[in-house]
Amino acid sequence: MILRVKSSSEIVLTIPKRVTIEQGKEFVKKKINWIKKQQAKYKSFENKKETSDFENGDIVYFLGNKYKLKVIPNEKNSIKIENEYLILNIRKNYIENKVYISNTYDKLLKEYAKTVFQDLVIKYQAQMIKYKIKIPEIEIRKMKSRWGSCFCTKNKIVLNLSLIKTPIECIEYVVVHELSHFRYQNHSKNFYNFISIFIPDWNERRRILNKEYGFVI
């Protein structure tokens, strides 16, 4: 039998022909605690969802904080935080072009993320230098299921653009996680002990990141 919980909280049970409906129901009852955990997880993800229509009042996240989006026609593209608003200035000629606005938003986020990510990489690499870990090349891109990746042979790490929407403590964890792969190319006990040198509470940061923002690392 295969039991799944959809993001809508719908429960789907697939059973072979030899199994009766009653047996299927009993199987579901035994898994009720697991089902509730999965539903709670999806509910948590839903609370962190952004609305992506780029209309005034849409919800966006930035460094772990929730903002209302305000799209304003202007002479040039820019982004800034003002009280509870994330203000996105868009060139007047493109104010009705949702594709342009979406691409511009990602571009501006990426520029800001590059500064934040680089500063953190420099900070923690300085602490790891005695372990012969060098400053890596940093690439930022949108990824669907990972917060980061490490390419040891290329001395390169890739960080998810969506990280800039999470708290700075979570970004620090991902940066240290990826840098630590230059010493340990696995997820062994030694690997996590190494992370603990720099971020003793890494497990709590990872829990927040994965539970509230939806990816796993």
Looking up residue 119, the CATH number of its domain turns out to be 3.30.2010.10
**Residue 26 placed within a domain:** yes
**Residue 153 placed within a domain:** yes
Same domain, 118 and 201: yes
**Residue 65 placed within a domain:** no
Model's pTM, two decimal places?
0.75
**Residue 124 placed within a domain:** yes
Lowest mean pLDDT among 8-22, 43-57, 103-117, 132-146: 43-57
Number of domains in the chain: 2
Question: What's the Rg (C-alpha) of the chain?
Answer: 21
| Higher pLDDT pick, 192 / 53 | 192
Residue 144 is given by DSSP the state S
Average pLDDT over residues 25-34: 90
**Integer Cα distance of 66 and 55 in angstroms:** 15
Same domain, 43 and 116: no
- Res 181: pLDDT: 97
What would the pLDDT profile of 73-112 be if each residue is shown by its tens digit?
A: 999 999 999 999 999 999 999 999 999 999 999 999 999 9
% of the chain with per-residue pLDDT over 70: 90
**Integer Cα distance of 75 and 48 in angstroms:** 32
What would the pLDDT profile of 173-216 be if each residue is shown by its tens digit?
A: 999 999 999 999 999 999 999 999 999 999 999 988 887 776 54
Average pLDDT over residues 20-34: 90
**Cβ(85)–Cβ(71) under 8 Å?**
no
**Residue 173 placed within a domain:** yes
Distances from the Cα of 126 to the Cαs of 175, 199, 206, in angstroms?
13, 14, 22
Q: Which domain holds residue 38?
A: 2-47
